[in-house]
Structure 1
Amino acid sequence: TLGDVLTDANGMILYVFAKDVAGSSSCLEGCLDSWPIFYTEEAEIGSGLESADFGVITHTNGSMQTTYKGWPLYYYAPAGDGEVEAANSTSGEAVGGVWFVAKPNYTIMYANAQLVGNDGNNYTSDYEEGDGATAYFVNSQGRTIYTFVNDSKDTNNYTASDFSNDAVWPVYTKELDGIVSTLDASDFGTIDVFGESQMTYKGWPLYYFGQDTERGDTKGVSVPSPGVWPVVNKNIAAAE
Protein backbone atom coordinates (compact mmCIF):
# COMPACT_ATOMS: atom_id res chain seq x y z
CA THR A 1 0.00 0.00 0.00
CA LEU A 2 2.95 2.35 0.46
CA GLY A 3 4.40 1.67 -2.98
CA ASP A 4 8.15 1.73 -3.55
CA VAL A 5 10.12 2.28 -0.35
CA LEU A 6 13.82 2.41 0.58
CA THR A 7 15.40 -0.49 2.45
CA ASP A 8 18.88 -1.61 3.32
CA ALA A 9 20.40 -4.66 1.63
CA ASN A 10 18.54 -6.96 4.05
CA GLY A 11 15.10 -5.51 3.41
CA MET A 12 15.01 -3.42 6.58
CA ILE A 13 12.78 -0.39 5.98
CA LEU A 14 14.37 3.07 6.21
CA TYR A 15 12.62 6.17 7.54
CA VAL A 16 12.84 9.96 7.50
CA PHE A 17 11.95 12.41 10.29
CA ALA A 18 9.84 15.51 9.57
CA LYS A 19 11.91 17.55 12.04
CA ASP A 20 15.05 16.92 9.95
CA VAL A 21 13.92 19.16 7.09
CA ALA A 22 17.06 21.31 7.30
CA GLY A 23 19.24 18.23 6.68
CA SER A 24 20.70 17.63 10.13
CA SER A 25 19.44 15.01 12.58
CA SER A 26 17.00 16.20 15.24
CA CYS A 27 16.70 12.71 16.75
CA LEU A 28 18.97 12.89 19.79
CA GLU A 29 19.90 10.76 22.79
CA GLY A 30 16.90 8.59 23.81
CA CYS A 31 15.19 9.16 20.47
CA LEU A 32 17.88 7.01 18.86
CA ASP A 33 16.81 4.01 20.98
CA SER A 34 13.62 3.93 18.90
CA TRP A 35 15.10 5.30 15.69
CA PRO A 36 18.63 3.93 15.21
CA ILE A 37 20.84 5.65 12.65
CA PHE A 38 21.32 4.05 9.24
CA TYR A 39 24.81 4.33 7.78
CA THR A 40 26.68 2.48 5.08
CA GLU A 41 30.24 3.38 4.16
CA GLU A 42 29.87 2.50 0.49
CA ALA A 43 26.30 2.57 -0.76
CA GLU A 44 25.60 0.05 -3.51
CA ILE A 45 22.53 1.58 -5.09
CA GLY A 46 19.62 -0.57 -6.25
CA SER A 47 17.78 -0.30 -9.54
CA GLY A 48 15.70 2.86 -9.96
CA LEU A 49 17.78 4.93 -7.52
CA GLU A 50 20.40 7.59 -8.22
CA SER A 51 23.70 7.59 -6.34
CA ALA A 52 23.70 11.41 -6.42
CA ASP A 53 20.65 11.41 -4.13
CA PHE A 54 22.65 9.78 -1.31
CA GLY A 55 25.07 11.50 1.03
CA VAL A 56 26.58 11.32 4.50
CA ILE A 57 26.40 13.66 7.48
CA THR A 58 27.93 13.53 10.94
CA HIS A 59 25.35 13.21 13.71
CA THR A 60 25.84 15.38 16.80
CA ASN A 61 26.83 12.23 18.71
CA GLY A 62 29.73 11.75 16.30
CA SER A 63 28.18 8.89 14.32
CA MET A 64 28.05 8.92 10.55
CA GLN A 65 24.58 8.87 8.99
CA THR A 66 23.47 8.25 5.42
CA THR A 67 21.04 10.74 3.83
CA TYR A 68 18.63 10.49 0.92
CA LYS A 69 17.79 13.68 -0.97
CA GLY A 70 19.16 15.45 2.08
CA TRP A 71 16.97 13.60 4.61
CA PRO A 72 18.87 11.63 7.30
CA LEU A 73 17.88 7.94 7.29
CA TYR A 74 16.87 5.78 10.25
CA TYR A 75 15.60 2.33 11.20
CA TYR A 76 12.67 1.79 13.59
CA ALA A 77 12.94 -0.10 16.88
CA PRO A 78 9.33 -0.43 18.17
CA ALA A 79 10.25 -1.39 21.73
CA GLY A 80 12.65 1.52 22.12
CA ASP A 81 15.50 -0.85 22.88
CA GLY A 82 17.47 -0.45 19.66
CA GLU A 83 16.15 -3.77 18.32
CA VAL A 84 15.11 -2.97 14.74
CA GLU A 85 11.75 -4.19 13.41
CA ALA A 86 11.64 -7.22 11.14
CA ALA A 87 12.53 -6.93 7.46
CA ASN A 88 9.74 -5.53 5.27
CA SER A 89 7.83 -4.26 8.30
CA THR A 90 6.63 -0.65 8.07
CA SER A 91 5.24 -0.24 11.60
CA GLY A 92 7.12 3.06 11.94
CA GLU A 93 5.06 4.73 9.23
CA ALA A 94 3.35 7.93 10.47
CA VAL A 95 4.42 7.41 14.10
CA GLY A 96 3.73 10.65 15.92
CA GLY A 97 2.75 12.22 12.60
CA VAL A 98 6.45 12.96 12.01
CA TRP A 99 8.09 9.66 10.96
CA PHE A 100 7.60 8.33 7.44
CA VAL A 101 9.04 5.56 5.31
CA ALA A 102 11.71 6.83 2.92
CA LYS A 103 10.43 6.72 -0.65
CA PRO A 104 12.02 7.62 -3.99
CA ASN A 105 8.96 9.29 -5.47
CA TYR A 106 7.63 11.76 -2.90
CA THR A 107 6.04 14.86 -4.41
CA ILE A 108 4.80 16.21 -1.06
CA MET A 109 6.52 15.54 2.26
CA TYR A 110 5.86 16.81 5.77
CA ALA A 111 8.18 19.05 7.78
CA ASN A 112 7.83 20.04 11.43
CA ALA A 113 10.04 22.93 12.43
CA GLN A 114 10.28 26.52 13.61
CA LEU A 115 9.01 29.08 11.11
CA VAL A 116 11.60 31.82 10.53
CA GLY A 117 10.59 34.75 8.34
CA ASN A 118 12.65 36.80 5.92
CA ASP A 119 12.86 39.41 8.69
CA GLY A 120 14.76 36.94 10.88
CA ASN A 121 11.93 36.61 13.41
CA ASN A 122 10.49 33.33 14.66
CA TYR A 123 6.79 32.75 14.03
CA THR A 124 4.13 30.43 15.40
CA SER A 125 1.54 28.62 13.29
CA ASP A 126 -0.75 31.65 13.82
CA TYR A 127 1.93 33.93 12.30
CA GLU A 128 2.51 35.70 15.57
CA GLU A 129 6.10 36.24 16.68
CA GLY A 130 7.12 33.40 18.96
CA ASP A 131 8.74 30.00 19.26
CA GLY A 132 7.28 26.61 18.48
CA ALA A 133 7.35 24.02 15.71
CA THR A 134 4.79 24.14 12.89
CA ALA A 135 3.86 21.35 10.49
CA TYR A 136 4.09 22.27 6.81
CA PHE A 137 4.43 20.79 3.32
CA VAL A 138 7.77 20.63 1.53
CA ASN A 139 8.91 18.95 -1.66
CA SER A 140 11.22 15.94 -1.72
CA GLN A 141 14.26 18.22 -1.38
CA GLY A 142 12.88 20.02 1.67
CA ARG A 143 11.73 23.20 -0.13
CA THR A 144 8.75 24.88 1.55
CA ILE A 145 5.36 25.15 -0.18
CA TYR A 146 2.99 28.10 0.35
CA THR A 147 -0.48 29.42 -0.46
CA PHE A 148 -1.63 33.02 -1.02
CA VAL A 149 -4.46 34.49 1.07
CA ASN A 150 -5.78 36.52 -1.89
CA ASP A 151 -6.32 33.42 -4.03
CA SER A 152 -9.67 31.68 -4.14
CA LYS A 153 -10.80 28.16 -4.95
CA ASP A 154 -8.83 26.89 -7.96
CA THR A 155 -7.92 30.48 -8.87
CA ASN A 156 -4.44 31.99 -8.92
CA ASN A 157 -4.79 35.74 -8.33
CA TYR A 158 -1.05 36.42 -8.12
CA THR A 159 0.81 35.24 -11.20
CA ALA A 160 1.09 37.74 -14.06
CA SER A 161 0.14 36.57 -17.54
CA ASP A 162 3.74 37.03 -18.72
CA PHE A 163 5.10 35.33 -15.59
CA SER A 164 7.12 38.48 -14.84
CA ASN A 165 6.57 37.98 -11.08
CA ASP A 166 7.06 34.22 -11.10
CA ALA A 167 10.63 34.47 -9.80
CA VAL A 168 9.30 35.93 -6.53
CA TRP A 169 6.58 33.33 -5.97
CA PRO A 170 7.08 30.51 -8.51
CA VAL A 171 4.05 28.32 -9.13
CA TYR A 172 4.40 24.71 -7.97
CA THR A 173 4.14 22.79 -11.22
CA LYS A 174 4.91 19.20 -10.18
CA GLU A 175 2.51 16.37 -10.93
CA LEU A 176 1.33 14.50 -7.85
CA ASP A 177 3.15 11.22 -7.32
CA GLY A 178 4.08 10.05 -3.83
CA ILE A 179 2.64 11.66 -0.68
CA VAL A 180 2.97 10.74 2.98
CA SER A 181 0.31 8.31 4.16
CA THR A 182 -1.41 10.84 6.43
CA LEU A 183 -2.49 12.89 3.39
CA ASP A 184 -5.40 12.23 1.02
CA ALA A 185 -4.59 12.34 -2.68
CA SER A 186 -8.15 13.50 -3.45
CA ASP A 187 -7.35 16.84 -1.75
CA PHE A 188 -4.84 17.63 -4.50
CA GLY A 189 -5.62 18.92 -7.97
CA THR A 190 -4.24 21.06 -10.78
CA ILE A 191 -5.29 24.27 -12.49
CA ASP A 192 -4.15 25.93 -15.70
CA VAL A 193 -2.28 29.22 -15.19
CA PHE A 194 -1.55 30.87 -18.52
CA GLY A 195 -0.55 27.55 -20.03
CA GLU A 196 1.28 26.20 -16.97
CA SER A 197 -0.13 23.48 -14.72
CA GLN A 198 -0.18 24.50 -11.04
CA MET A 199 -0.81 22.03 -8.22
CA THR A 200 -3.56 22.84 -5.71
CA TYR A 201 -4.39 21.55 -2.24
CA LYS A 202 -7.99 21.77 -1.06
CA GLY A 203 -8.47 24.27 -3.87
CA TRP A 204 -5.53 26.48 -2.86
CA PRO A 205 -2.92 27.08 -5.61
CA LEU A 206 0.56 26.15 -4.38
CA TYR A 207 3.79 28.17 -4.67
CA TYR A 208 7.45 28.30 -3.69
CA PHE A 209 9.17 31.46 -2.40
CA GLY A 210 12.09 32.57 -4.56
CA GLN A 211 14.27 33.63 -1.61
CA ASP A 212 14.07 30.26 0.13
CA THR A 213 17.57 29.13 -0.81
CA GLU A 214 18.24 26.48 1.86
CA ARG A 215 16.39 23.32 2.86
CA GLY A 216 13.55 24.09 5.24
CA ASP A 217 13.69 27.86 4.73
CA THR A 218 10.34 29.53 5.51
CA LYS A 219 11.30 33.12 4.73
CA GLY A 220 8.07 33.73 2.85
CA VAL A 221 5.91 33.66 5.99
CA SER A 222 6.77 37.29 6.79
CA VAL A 223 6.49 38.67 3.23
CA PRO A 224 5.08 41.29 2.81
CA SER A 225 3.61 40.80 6.28
CA PRO A 226 3.08 37.70 8.43
CA GLY A 227 0.35 35.38 7.22
CA VAL A 228 -0.13 36.77 3.71
CA TRP A 229 1.70 33.75 2.29
CA PRO A 230 0.96 30.90 4.74
CA VAL A 231 2.72 27.56 4.72
CA VAL A 232 0.48 24.59 3.89
CA ASN A 233 -0.52 21.70 6.13
CA LYS A 234 -3.27 19.11 6.07
CA ASN A 235 -5.44 21.09 8.50
CA ILE A 236 -5.78 24.13 6.24
CA ALA A 237 -9.39 25.10 5.54
CA ALA A 238 -10.59 24.49 2.00
CA ALA A 239 -10.47 27.47 -0.35
CA GLU A 240 -13.74 29.16 -1.24
Structure 2
Amino acid sequence: MKYQFKIAAFVAMCFTMSVLSSCSKDDNPSNPTSKGTTVKLATTTKFGSVMTDSLGNSLYFFSLDANGTSGCTGGCLAAWPIFYKEHLTIDTSLKAADFGVITRADGSKQTTYKGWPLYYYAGDVKAGDINGDGANNIWFIAKPDYTVMLANQQLTGNDGVQYNSQLQPGQEVTQYITDAYGRTLYAFAHDHNNTNVYTKADFSNNATWPIYEVDSIKYIPSILDKASFVKINVFGKSQITYKGWPLYYFGPDAQTRGNTKGVSVPTPGVWPYVNLNTAAAPIQ
Protein backbone atom coordinates (compact mmCIF):
# COMPACT_ATOMS: atom_id res chain seq x y z
CA MET A 1 0.00 0.00 0.00
CA LYS A 2 2.93 2.32 -0.45
CA TYR A 3 1.99 5.66 -1.90
CA GLN A 4 4.50 8.24 -0.81
CA PHE A 5 4.35 11.97 -1.42
CA LYS A 6 6.46 14.91 -0.33
CA ILE A 7 4.71 18.18 0.37
CA ALA A 8 7.54 20.32 -0.93
CA ALA A 9 7.45 18.43 -4.22
CA PHE A 10 3.71 19.08 -4.49
CA VAL A 11 4.16 22.82 -4.30
CA ALA A 12 7.00 22.76 -6.79
CA MET A 13 4.99 20.68 -9.23
CA CYS A 14 1.94 22.86 -8.78
CA PHE A 15 3.98 25.96 -9.58
CA THR A 16 5.59 24.32 -12.59
CA MET A 17 2.21 23.38 -13.95
CA SER A 18 1.19 27.03 -13.99
CA VAL A 19 3.29 27.47 -17.11
CA LEU A 20 2.46 24.14 -18.71
CA SER A 21 -0.60 23.26 -20.70
CA SER A 22 -1.73 19.67 -20.92
CA CYS A 23 -2.83 18.20 -24.22
CA SER A 24 -5.75 16.31 -22.73
CA LYS A 25 -9.18 17.90 -22.80
CA ASP A 26 -12.71 16.72 -23.14
CA ASP A 27 -14.75 17.22 -26.27
CA ASN A 28 -17.74 19.49 -26.75
CA PRO A 29 -18.92 20.30 -23.24
CA SER A 30 -22.39 21.79 -23.21
CA ASN A 31 -23.42 24.45 -20.71
CA PRO A 32 -27.19 24.63 -20.81
CA THR A 33 -27.79 26.88 -17.80
CA SER A 34 -27.81 30.65 -17.89
CA LYS A 35 -24.84 32.94 -17.32
CA GLY A 36 -26.48 34.09 -14.11
CA THR A 37 -25.71 30.73 -12.50
CA THR A 38 -22.43 31.01 -10.59
CA VAL A 39 -21.91 27.23 -10.34
CA LYS A 40 -23.39 25.10 -13.05
CA LEU A 41 -22.99 21.71 -14.68
CA ALA A 42 -21.55 20.95 -18.09
CA THR A 43 -22.08 17.61 -19.81
CA THR A 44 -18.94 16.04 -21.29
CA THR A 45 -18.33 12.81 -23.15
CA LYS A 46 -15.40 11.71 -20.98
CA PHE A 47 -16.33 12.85 -17.48
CA GLY A 48 -20.11 13.11 -17.59
CA SER A 49 -21.43 16.06 -15.56
CA VAL A 50 -18.69 18.41 -14.39
CA MET A 51 -18.86 21.58 -12.33
CA THR A 52 -17.98 24.96 -13.83
CA ASP A 53 -18.32 28.63 -13.05
CA SER A 54 -20.83 30.86 -14.83
CA LEU A 55 -18.56 31.16 -17.89
CA GLY A 56 -18.00 27.43 -18.26
CA ASN A 57 -14.54 27.36 -16.70
CA SER A 58 -13.84 24.00 -15.06
CA LEU A 59 -13.53 23.61 -11.28
CA TYR A 60 -11.33 21.10 -9.46
CA PHE A 61 -10.81 19.20 -6.19
CA PHE A 62 -7.38 18.79 -4.53
CA SER A 63 -6.81 15.50 -2.71
CA LEU A 64 -4.58 17.14 -0.09
CA ASP A 65 -7.67 18.98 1.15
CA ALA A 66 -8.90 15.81 2.85
CA ASN A 67 -9.65 17.52 6.16
CA GLY A 68 -11.54 20.38 4.52
CA THR A 69 -8.78 22.99 4.70
CA SER A 70 -6.79 24.07 1.67
CA GLY A 71 -3.39 22.47 1.13
CA CYS A 72 -2.66 24.66 -1.89
CA THR A 73 -0.69 27.73 -0.84
CA GLY A 74 2.16 29.89 -2.10
CA GLY A 75 3.32 29.05 -5.61
CA CYS A 76 0.66 26.36 -5.92
CA LEU A 77 -1.99 29.07 -6.22
CA ALA A 78 -0.43 30.40 -9.41
CA ALA A 79 -1.35 27.13 -11.08
CA TRP A 80 -4.54 26.49 -9.14
CA PRO A 81 -6.36 29.76 -8.32
CA ILE A 82 -9.13 29.53 -5.75
CA PHE A 83 -12.81 29.81 -6.60
CA TYR A 84 -14.99 31.95 -4.37
CA LYS A 85 -18.38 33.58 -4.79
CA GLU A 86 -20.02 35.35 -1.89
CA HIS A 87 -23.48 34.81 -3.32
CA LEU A 88 -23.99 31.51 -5.10
CA THR A 89 -26.65 30.76 -7.65
CA ILE A 90 -26.39 27.08 -8.43
CA ASP A 91 -27.61 24.69 -11.08
CA THR A 92 -31.04 23.33 -10.18
CA SER A 93 -29.70 19.77 -10.00
CA LEU A 94 -27.18 20.72 -7.29
CA LYS A 95 -27.98 20.98 -3.58
CA ALA A 96 -27.30 24.21 -1.71
CA ALA A 97 -26.48 22.23 1.45
CA ASP A 98 -23.45 20.73 -0.31
CA PHE A 99 -21.81 24.15 -0.66
CA GLY A 100 -19.88 25.99 2.00
CA VAL A 101 -17.12 28.53 2.56
CA ILE A 102 -13.78 28.21 4.34
CA THR A 103 -11.49 30.96 5.52
CA ARG A 104 -7.96 30.24 4.36
CA ALA A 105 -4.82 30.80 6.42
CA ASP A 106 -4.25 34.14 4.66
CA GLY A 107 -7.75 35.32 5.55
CA SER A 108 -9.21 34.94 2.07
CA LYS A 109 -12.35 32.89 1.48
CA GLN A 110 -12.91 29.87 -0.74
CA THR A 111 -16.07 28.09 -1.85
CA THR A 112 -16.33 24.38 -1.04
CA TYR A 113 -18.45 21.55 -2.42
CA LYS A 114 -19.10 18.49 -0.25
CA GLY A 115 -16.29 19.84 1.89
CA TRP A 116 -13.78 20.05 -0.98
CA PRO A 117 -12.38 23.54 -1.64
CA LEU A 118 -12.85 24.49 -5.30
CA TYR A 119 -10.11 25.66 -7.66
CA TYR A 120 -9.49 26.66 -11.24
CA TYR A 121 -6.54 25.38 -13.29
CA ALA A 122 -4.30 27.94 -15.01
CA GLY A 123 -3.65 25.45 -17.81
CA ASP A 124 -7.28 25.62 -18.90
CA VAL A 125 -7.08 28.31 -21.56
CA LYS A 126 -10.74 28.47 -22.53
CA ALA A 127 -14.16 27.52 -21.27
CA GLY A 128 -14.71 23.79 -21.48
CA ASP A 129 -11.06 22.82 -21.09
CA ILE A 130 -10.38 20.06 -18.54
CA ASN A 131 -6.60 19.90 -18.66
CA GLY A 132 -6.03 19.64 -14.92
CA ASP A 133 -7.76 16.35 -14.18
CA GLY A 134 -5.36 13.70 -12.89
CA ALA A 135 -2.47 16.16 -12.54
CA ASN A 136 0.17 14.54 -10.32
CA ASN A 137 -2.57 12.08 -9.32
CA ILE A 138 -3.85 14.64 -6.82
CA TRP A 139 -6.08 17.03 -8.81
CA PHE A 140 -9.49 15.96 -10.10
CA ILE A 141 -12.30 17.60 -12.02
CA ALA A 142 -15.10 18.62 -9.67
CA LYS A 143 -18.19 16.48 -10.11
CA PRO A 144 -21.45 16.08 -8.18
CA ASP A 145 -21.64 12.32 -8.66
CA TYR A 146 -18.41 10.72 -7.48
CA THR A 147 -19.02 7.44 -5.68
CA VAL A 148 -15.56 7.61 -4.11
CA MET A 149 -12.79 10.19 -3.94
CA LEU A 150 -9.09 10.21 -3.09
CA ALA A 151 -7.40 11.91 -0.15
CA ASN A 152 -3.73 12.51 0.57
CA GLN A 153 -2.71 13.19 4.13
CA GLN A 154 -0.95 11.95 7.23
CA LEU A 155 -2.62 8.88 8.76
CA THR A 156 -3.40 9.19 12.48
CA GLY A 157 -4.82 6.19 14.33
CA ASN A 158 -7.33 5.97 17.15
CA ASP A 159 -4.32 5.61 19.44
CA GLY A 160 -3.10 9.09 18.46
CA VAL A 161 -0.05 7.66 16.69
CA GLN A 162 0.93 8.88 13.22
CA TYR A 163 1.39 6.09 10.67
CA ASN A 164 3.16 5.88 7.33
CA SER A 165 1.89 4.08 4.24
CA GLN A 166 3.20 0.76 5.60
CA LEU A 167 1.12 1.32 8.75
CA GLN A 168 4.26 1.64 10.81
CA PRO A 169 4.68 4.60 13.18
CA GLY A 170 6.05 7.48 11.13
CA GLN A 171 5.27 10.61 9.18
CA GLU A 172 4.26 10.32 5.54
CA VAL A 173 1.52 11.68 3.33
CA THR A 174 -0.46 8.66 2.14
CA GLN A 175 -3.13 8.45 -0.52
CA TYR A 176 -6.33 6.57 0.32
CA ILE A 177 -9.89 6.15 -0.89
CA THR A 178 -12.77 8.05 0.72
CA ASP A 179 -16.44 8.56 0.02
CA ALA A 180 -17.55 11.62 -1.95
CA TYR A 181 -17.34 13.77 1.19
CA GLY A 182 -13.75 12.84 2.07
CA ARG A 183 -14.69 10.34 4.79
CA THR A 184 -12.22 7.47 5.05
CA LEU A 185 -13.13 4.00 3.80
CA TYR A 186 -11.48 0.85 5.15
CA ALA A 187 -11.06 -2.82 4.27
CA PHE A 188 -11.22 -5.72 6.73
CA ALA A 189 -8.18 -8.01 6.53
CA HIS A 190 -10.25 -11.16 7.14
CA ASP A 191 -12.77 -10.56 4.34
CA HIS A 192 -12.64 -12.54 1.11
CA ASN A 193 -13.09 -11.45 -2.48
CA ASN A 194 -16.45 -9.67 -2.66
CA THR A 195 -17.44 -11.39 0.59
CA ASN A 196 -18.14 -9.54 3.83
CA VAL A 197 -17.38 -11.85 6.77
CA TYR A 198 -17.57 -9.12 9.42
CA THR A 199 -21.12 -7.79 9.38
CA LYS A 200 -23.70 -9.77 11.35
CA ALA A 201 -27.10 -10.60 9.87
CA ASP A 202 -28.84 -8.37 12.41
CA PHE A 203 -26.34 -5.55 11.80
CA SER A 204 -25.65 -5.41 15.53
CA ASN A 205 -21.98 -4.61 14.86
CA ASN A 206 -22.63 -2.21 12.03
CA ALA A 207 -22.32 0.87 14.25
CA THR A 208 -18.63 0.18 14.83
CA TRP A 209 -17.75 -0.61 11.23
CA PRO A 210 -20.69 0.58 9.09
CA ILE A 211 -20.77 -0.84 5.59
CA TYR A 212 -20.43 1.71 2.80
CA GLU A 213 -23.87 1.47 1.22
CA VAL A 214 -24.45 2.61 -2.35
CA ASP A 215 -27.39 2.49 -4.72
CA SER A 216 -25.12 2.42 -7.75
CA ILE A 217 -21.50 2.96 -8.73
CA LYS A 218 -21.39 6.21 -10.66
CA TYR A 219 -18.16 8.09 -11.33
CA ILE A 220 -14.77 7.62 -9.69
CA PRO A 221 -11.52 9.62 -9.88
CA SER A 222 -9.91 9.14 -13.28
CA ILE A 223 -6.73 7.47 -11.98
CA LEU A 224 -8.76 4.58 -10.57
CA ASP A 225 -10.26 1.72 -12.59
CA LYS A 226 -14.04 1.68 -12.34
CA ALA A 227 -14.01 -2.07 -13.02
CA SER A 228 -12.30 -2.52 -9.64
CA PHE A 229 -15.49 -1.41 -7.90
CA VAL A 230 -18.34 -3.89 -7.46
CA LYS A 231 -21.63 -3.81 -5.57
CA ILE A 232 -22.42 -6.80 -3.34
CA ASN A 233 -25.45 -7.79 -1.29
CA VAL A 234 -24.97 -7.94 2.47
CA PHE A 235 -28.12 -9.20 4.17
CA GLY A 236 -30.32 -7.14 1.88
CA LYS A 237 -28.14 -4.03 1.73
CA SER A 238 -25.79 -2.98 -1.06
CA GLN A 239 -22.13 -2.57 -0.14
CA ILE A 240 -19.39 -1.39 -2.47
CA THR A 241 -16.12 -3.32 -2.81
CA TYR A 242 -12.75 -2.25 -4.21
CA LYS A 243 -10.53 -4.93 -5.75
CA GLY A 244 -12.80 -7.38 -3.97
CA TRP A 245 -12.46 -5.73 -0.55
CA PRO A 246 -15.80 -4.71 1.00
CA LEU A 247 -15.54 -1.09 2.15
CA TYR A 248 -16.50 0.21 5.58
CA TYR A 249 -16.53 3.38 7.62
CA PHE A 250 -15.17 3.44 11.18
CA GLY A 251 -17.79 4.57 13.70
CA PRO A 252 -15.41 6.60 15.90
CA ASP A 253 -14.33 8.60 12.84
CA ALA A 254 -17.71 10.24 13.51
CA GLN A 255 -18.36 10.74 9.79
CA THR A 256 -15.71 13.47 9.89
CA ARG A 257 -13.66 14.01 6.74
CA GLY A 258 -9.94 13.53 7.22
CA ASN A 259 -10.25 11.21 10.23
CA THR A 260 -8.30 7.96 9.83
CA LYS A 261 -8.65 6.52 13.32
CA GLY A 262 -9.53 3.04 12.10
CA VAL A 263 -6.04 2.25 10.80
CA SER A 264 -4.81 1.38 14.31
CA VAL A 265 -7.81 -0.67 15.48
CA PRO A 266 -7.32 -3.11 17.13
CA THR A 267 -3.80 -3.14 15.70
CA PRO A 268 -2.45 -1.67 12.45
CA GLY A 269 -3.25 -3.81 9.42
CA VAL A 270 -6.53 -5.32 10.59
CA TRP A 271 -8.60 -2.46 9.14
CA PRO A 272 -6.30 -0.90 6.53
CA TYR A 273 -6.95 1.99 4.17
CA VAL A 274 -7.17 1.17 0.45
CA ASN A 275 -5.65 2.88 -2.56
CA LEU A 276 -4.36 2.35 -6.09
CA ASN A 277 -1.69 -0.06 -4.86
CA THR A 278 -3.96 -2.27 -2.75
CA ALA A 279 -3.68 -5.95 -3.72
CA ALA A 280 -6.84 -7.81 -4.71
CA ALA A 281 -8.74 -9.56 -1.93
CA PRO A 282 -8.13 -13.32 -1.71
CA ILE A 283 -10.77 -15.67 -3.07
CA GLN A 284 -10.97 -17.44 0.30
- Using the size of structure 1 for normalisation, the TM-score is 0.96
Deviations 1:199-235 (CA, angstroms, capped at 9, x unpaired)? 1111111111011122110000000001110011121
Unaligned 5+ segments in structure 1 are 79-83
Tell me which of 189, 205, 210 is aligned to 2:230.
Answer: 189
Q: CA RMSD in A?
A: 0.9
Counting only pairs closer than 5 Å after superposition, residues 95-106 of structure 1 correspond to structure 2 as 95-106=135-146
Whether 2:258 is the aligned partner of 1:216: answer yes
Aligned to 1:81: none
Partner of 2:51, secondary structure, is coil
Query: What's the CA shift for 1:47?
Result: 2.3
Tell me which of 11, 14, 18 is aligned to 2:63.
Answer: 18
Query: What's the CA shift for 1:155?
Result: 1.3
Whether 2:163 is the aligned partner of 1:163: answer no
Distance 1:29 1:85 in 2: 22
Aligned to 2:88: 43
Counting only pairs closer than 5 Å after superposition, residues 1-240 of structure 1 correspond to structure 2 as 1-78=46-123, 85-174=125-214, 175-213=216-254, 214-240=256-282
**Higher helix proportion (structure 1 or 2):** 2
Query: What's the CA shift for 1:85?
Result: 2.9
Deviations 1:175-203 (CA, angstroms, capped at 9, x unpaired)? 21121111111111122212222111111
Query: What's the CA shift for 1:60?
Result: 1.1
Runs of 4+ in structure 1 over 4 Å off: none
Deviations 1:109-162 (CA, angstroms, capped at 9, x unpaired)? 010110000011100111000001111011111110000111111111111111
Contact 2:217 2:231 (C-alpha < 8 Å) held by counterparts: no
Query: What's the CA shift for 1:70?
Result: 0.8
Unaligned 5+ segments in structure 2 are 1-45
The residue type paired with residue 159 of structure 2 is D
Distance 1:159 1:51 in 2: 34
Distance 1:85 1:21 in 2: 27
Query: What's the CA shift for 1:173?
Result: 1.1
